[in-house]
Amino acid sequence: MATKTNILKNNLIEALEQSLGIVTTACKKVKCNRSTFYKYYNNDKVFRAKVDDLQNLTLDFVESQLHEQIKEGNTTATIFYLKTKGKKRGFIERQEIQMDGSIESKVIEWTPAKDK
């Protein structure tokens, strides 16, 4: 027999899948506090595994959408992909700062004022 808690956990998983992994949206859909969701997540290994699997599926979906935009010629999507996945091939932004001259430093000794 399914307990009330197990039914809520299953409903949360379904709502999380429908909301593409957005916890707040899933909790609102099943009328559950976010703190309850995170209590289940932190204390139930099976629930955590299901949530983590859904998060990976969501990431796969979003990544596939990015690939679609790249195929359609979206320059911004292409640049984003190269900046995040193409670092090993030199696609990275970096700033080079060149300084001419010297740097001087002074040590200043501070002493507290004496009471009068």
Closest CA to 39 of 77, 17, 12, 66: 12
pLDDT at 104: 86
Mean pLDDT of the chain: 91
Look at 96 and 65; give whichever has higher pLDDT: 65
Which secondary structure element, helix H or strand E, spans residue 19, and what is its range? none
Look at 93 and 50; give whichever has higher pLDDT: 50
Query: 24-81 pLDDT, tens per residue?
Result: 999 999 999 999 999 999 999 999 999 999 999 999 999 999 999 999 999 999 999 9
pLDDT at 99: 83
pTM of the predicted model as reported, rounded to 2 decimal places: 0.65
Contact predicate 9/23, CB 8 Å: no
Q: Above 70 in pLDDT, residue 116?
A: no
Q: Above 70 in pLDDT, residue 1?
A: no
Look at 13 and 96; give whichever has higher pLDDT: 13
Domain ranges in the chain? Answer: 4-86
